[in-house]
Chains A and B, each alone.
Chain A
Amino acid sequence: MSELSEKALEYTKRYLGPASKTFLERQTKSHLKGLAFDDLKHEDLPELLKWLNISGGLLIGAKAEEMIKTMEIMLRVKRAV
Chain B
Amino acid sequence: MTKLVSSLQTKLTMSFIVLILVVSSLTYLFTFRETKKGLLEITQTELIALSSVIANELSGVQAEDMASLNPGEESSGKFTALAAKLQSIRSAHSDIKYLYTMKKSEKGLSFMVDPDYGNVDDPGAKIGEEYDEVHDQMLMAFEKPAVDPNFYTDKWGTLLSGYAPIHDTKGNVVGIVGVDMGSDLVLAKQAFIGKMIYLIIAISILLAASFIFFFSKTIIKDIHKLNNIANDISMGNMGVSMDVERKDEIGELAESFGRMVASLKIMMMNDNASDK
Contacts and interface: CB of A to CB of B under 8 A. Distances in A.
B260 interface: yes
B263 A61 contact: no
Contacts, number: 41
A22 B241 contact: no
A64 to B, nearest CB: 10
A22 B258 contact: no
A63 B261 CA distance: 13
Interface stretch (A1-9, A10-18, A35-43, A68-76): A10-18
Interface of B is mostly: helix
A59 B268 CA distance: 12
Which of A14, A15, A17, A61 has the largest count of B CB atoms less than 10 A from its CB? Answer: A17
B265 interface: yes
B242 A23 contact: no
B259 A16 contact: yes
Given A60-B242, A61-B243, A63-B242, A17 B262 contact: yes
A14 B266 contact: no
Interface of A is mostly: helix
B270 A59 contact: no
B81 interface: no
Interface residues of A, number: 15
A15 B267 contact: no
Contacts of A15: 258-259, 262
Given A26-B273, A59-B266, 8 more contacts: A14-B259, A16-B259, A16-B262, A17-B259, A17-B260, A19-B262, A23-B266, A61-B243
Interface of A: 13-20, 22-23, 26, 59-61, 63
24 contacts: A14-B259, A16-B263, A17-B259, A17-B260, A17-B263, A18-B263, A19-B263, A19-B264, A19-B267, A20-B263, A20-B266, A22-B266, A22-B270, A23-B266, A26-B270, A59-B262, A59-B265, A59-B266, A60-B241, A60-B258, A60-B262, A61-B241, A61-B243, A63-B242
Q: Closest 4 CB pairs between A and B?
A: A17-B259, A17-B263, A19-B263, A19-B266
Interface of B: 241-243, 258-260, 262-267, 270, 273
